[in-house]
């Protein structure tokens, strides 16, 4: 089964807790603090696997969690880092954050993508020793790993997309110009999944062609199979629009051509601007009047036009040569830029719960949701820092610190951030 959309939940590993421990050594008060740090939680890592062609595996497993970091221990021994969890996806997979819809990554290249970062390990008590606090009896808890619900969306990577109504000859064409072997038959929807074929033009020169399942009128609204597969032509550098010029199924070729272009416009206006070459297929079944009328109409609209009989390769080489020439003038296959998840989404996902505790004069604030916002805060940027301060105020953290008796100059510790309190 071809599956090109899936929703999954990913959870990176939590950081291990820091240790409270003291070294047993003569003449050193309480043995001296030597608690080790907790290990960092494992990341969720997405990696391209060219052996995969669909997202079918994600229909059966929806939750993915990386390993937690181990707790620290005495003698300044840090906890072991949690193992990363590798999630393999087909090339061309788009990863979106579900709630905001923003693109987190486009898995088109070979680069790995960290979809959820593991939480930092908590500091052991050895970090908190100062000249005035020589025997700290507290440590930090590990930070939680990032957690997201993401949508995986496969957009096939092809240079050329074949478009047209069912049974106009798309599968026949790709079968004779490439090594692809799609099902070819004289009935509708013989192609029910996209088929990729590599067209070789000579030494070190080739391009990828995609046979997209036939579209019918209303495809952009979910009618037929086309609605599920129109997304796969969004990356294509150009389109080859195949039309049954003979009207062998009782349809008008010109109306077919316009209907498909309307579906492209309805689904994504950018697709309508994609360069097209038109191929009139089944010319052996057409009358001279039909051929002349269709050619005049298409060329009158400014399109390159070629006549073919795909099963016997008549005219196909001329068509492929024209496609190759056109591709030489076009930019590379489209890649989608990653976007920042809005801070408002992070805040909306947050829970109100938090804890404030005082250890040896240090005010320690902990909250899973606050850590996520802190990770996205640029402390060197004034506006970003102001936003973080507003979150502390609006969520009642400042009030809780005041209730705990904080005074000006006291130390506040929020995971990796420490600062002196200024009222």
Q: How confident is the model at residue 86 (pLDDT cuts 50, 70, 90)?
A: very high
Edge-to-edge strand ranges of the sheet holding 276-281: 195-202, 205-211, 160-163, 238-244, 276-281, 304-307
Q: Which residues contact 95 (CB under 8 A, 6 or more apart)?
A: 46, 89, 103, 104, 105, 106, 107, 113, 115, 150, 151, 152
Mean pLDDT of 194-223: 72
Domains in the chain, ordered, with CATH? 1-155+336-341 (2.70.210.12), 160-327 (3.40.50.300), 346-423 (3.30.300.350)
Tens of pLDDT, residues 7-55: 999 999 999 998 988 877 666 555 678 889 999 999 999 999 988 888 8
Instruction: Indicate whether this model's pTM tops 0.95.
Output: no
- Residue 205 has what pLDDT? 87
Higher pLDDT among residues 40 and 142, named by residue: 40
Indicate the range of 173-182, 228-237, 401-410 predicted with least confidence. Answer: 228-237
Distance, in Å, from the CA atom of 214 to the CA atom of 190, rounded to the nearest integer, reads 9
- Residue 359 has what pLDDT? 83
Tens of pLDDT, residues 259-293: 888 888 888 888 888 999 999 999 999 999 999 99
Q: 107-121, 192-206, 217-231, 380-394: which has the highest mean pLDDT?
A: 107-121
- Residue 188 has what pLDDT? 40
Quote the mean pLDDT of the chain. Answer: 85
Q: How confident is the model at residue 316 (pLDDT cuts 50, 70, 90)?
A: very high
Indicate the range of 25-29, 364-368, 397-401 predicted with least confidence. Answer: 25-29
């Amino acid at each position: 089964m071809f599956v090109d959309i899936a929703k999954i939940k990913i959870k990176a590993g939590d950081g291990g807790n820091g240790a409270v421990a003291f070294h047993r050594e003569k003449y050193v008060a309480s043995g001296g603090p030597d608690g080790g740090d907790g290990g960092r939680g494992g990341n969720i890592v997405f990696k391209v696997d060219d052996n995969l062609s669909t997202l079918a595996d994600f229909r059966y497993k929806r939750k993915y969690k990386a390993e937690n970091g181990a707790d620290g221990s005495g003698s300044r021994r840090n906890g072991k880092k949690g193992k990363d969890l590798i999630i393999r996806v087909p090339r061309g997979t788009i990863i979106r954050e579900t709630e905001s819809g923003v693109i987190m990554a486009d898995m088109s290249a070979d680069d790995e993508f960290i979809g959820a970062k593991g939480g930092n390990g908590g500091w052991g008590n050895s970090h908190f020793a100062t000249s005035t606090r020589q025997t700290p009896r507290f440590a930090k808890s590990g930070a939680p790993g990032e957690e997201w619900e993401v949508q995986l969306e496969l957009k096939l990577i092809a240079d050329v997309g074949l478009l047209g109504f069912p049974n106009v000859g798309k599968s026949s064409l790709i079968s004779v110009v490439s090594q692809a072997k799609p099902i070819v038959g004289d009935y509708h929807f013989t192609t029910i999944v996209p088929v990729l074929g590599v067209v070789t033009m000579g030494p070190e020169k080739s391009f990828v062609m995609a046979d997209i399942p036939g579209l019918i009128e209303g495809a952009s609204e979910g009618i037929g199979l086309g609605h599920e597969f129109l997304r796969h032509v969004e990356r294509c550098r150009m389109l080859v629009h195949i039309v049954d010029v003979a009207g062998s199924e009782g349809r008008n070729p010109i109306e077919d051509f316009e209907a498909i272009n309307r579906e492209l416009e309805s689904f994504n206006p950018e697709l309508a601007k994609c360069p097209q070459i038109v191929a009139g297929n089944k010319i052996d079944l057409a009358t001279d009047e039909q051929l002349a009328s269709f050619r005049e109409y298409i060329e009158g609209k400014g399109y390159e036009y070629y006549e073919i009989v795909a099963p016997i390769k008549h005219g196909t080489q001329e068509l492929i040569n024209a496609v190759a020439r056109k591709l030489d003038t076009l930019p590379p296959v489209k890649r989608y830029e990653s976007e920042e998840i809005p801070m408002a989404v992070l805040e909306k996902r947050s829970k109100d719960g938090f804890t404030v505790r005082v250890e040896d004069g240090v005010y320690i604030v902990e909250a899973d949701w606050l850590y996520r916002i802190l990770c996205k805060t640029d402390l060197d940027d004034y506006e970003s820092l102001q936003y973080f301060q507003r979150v502390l105020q609006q969520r009642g953290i400042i009030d809780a610190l005041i209730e705990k008796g904080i005074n000006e100059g006291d130390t506040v510790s929020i995971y990796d951030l420490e600062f002196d309190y200024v009222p």
